[in-house]
Structure 1
Amino acid sequence: MTGWELVAVCAAGVVAGAINAVVGSGSLITFPTLVAIGVDPVTANVSNTIGLVPGSLTGAYGYRVELEGQRERVLRLGLASGVGALIGGILLLFLDPDIFEVVVVALIAVACVLVVVQPWLNRWLAERREHAHPHGGPALWLGVLGAGIYGGYFGAAQGVLLIGLLGSFLDEHLQRVNAAKNVLALVVNAVAALLFVFVADVDWQAVCGVALGAMAGGFAGARVGRRIPPPVLRGVIVCVGIAAIIVLVYG
């Protein structure tokens, strides 16, 4: 990796860390960046997951005020996230790499659609929130487990999935939902990263570049990211997602 490529990866990490803290889907920035500079897609996914852990940590820390009173909830749902991440990581490692290259295009496309429809999804959730189960219930636990499997396998837009699930089943303000989402995403990334460190092919230069940027971006995103107009964030994510599909299909 050249010096300029490392700078590009670090810059992508900053943006991804900020987006993950505010919305989720930061992998739609870092993953295609790694693929674009020549990193194998599976190795890029593994390295990206490891590199985003520090950014997830700083993002969760930035929302510590909104996390007050959610300890029991986060512990309960964190177990589902951790188990799901382990399953998803194992699927990534043992499925045929050719399958990953096909599936990941579909995952990115779905993630982009989720980002685009998020405003309508949020309005629908707001209409339902008064009927939400006070503790989420088994349905939420299973939903978070599924999101963890998805996050361990690829991860782009897992934040959007989690916000949708938590918002559906919990009677909470969106910022408190987002704070819980950040912790659950951290659990997914950390568990998958621990697995990948020991058994996967890792590009450590890519990890360092993403991690350095994501740490700064996660902290900044938690502080000022909510001031960025949502349409701008969605537009950037969708454009990068389309670029990733083009790179994977025609690269």
Structure 2
Amino acid sequence: MKHKMIIFSIFLSLISLTTHGQEKTMIKNFEELFNYAYKYYSENKPFDEISKTLYSSIYENYEFFLQTEEVSSNDSNNLQLRFKLFNSYALEGSYQYKNVCPILIDRTDSVFLRSEFLENYKYLNQFVKKFLTNPFNESEFPEKRLTTIPYFGDVEVTRQIIFLDSQMTPDSLEKRTSFHKLFEVISHLILANNELRNEISFVMWKKSYEELELDKKLAINKIAPFTVRITLNYKLPPSPPPPPDMELERFMMGKGKKK
């Protein structure tokens, strides 16, 4: 049961990774390593050695999930998106289906949005922006609650969350989700959210989101909350057992003959 007792200490001891220009970066734990790898992906730098360490940690350790969070950077006017590591027990609780956007990347890197195969990212972009705001109050999209937000007054805000599941633990054929595909999907989710923020910003202030002061950015963030929970070793539930053969059961009980 040690996998449920410790969250960081079993993970990585200090890992030295050689990158461009002989730069060496010390990574102390999985959370930092994941953020480091995503940064490299975003900058179009190779991160294969990092991903090997990530894979190894997932396979050898316990269940956990990462969740997006935004923190103020050194420049007080900017917000930085990071991924925070949590214990799996923090997932306890129920969510109404309409308030959840489930996305699965299977071991062949196929992407499924609400159990439907995703053919292109354009549809994902449109769906996510609609999911975050539910502009037409459709019943299959998140419910809303009236909230008072600076600069906007009383606004109906959705109660929602995006669950991004991947299958990083290999199957018997050593197939598993790639970090390239995982980061690709994450990037498109972030892109959709950024586009939505820009649209709100231009309507309200005739400026892009990045040009706004911090308090105005935070106000927009409250209008369309953006939370993604990422599960790295998600396993599909087992198939239900076949229906019982009543004739066989009667035969086994000595109450009849099976033809």
Tell me the TM-score normalized by structure 2. Answer: 0.28
Higher relative helix content: 1
Higher relative strand content: 2
Higher relative contact order structure (alpha carbons within 8 Å, sequence separation ≥ 6): 1
Tell me the TM-score normalized by structure 1. Answer: 0.29
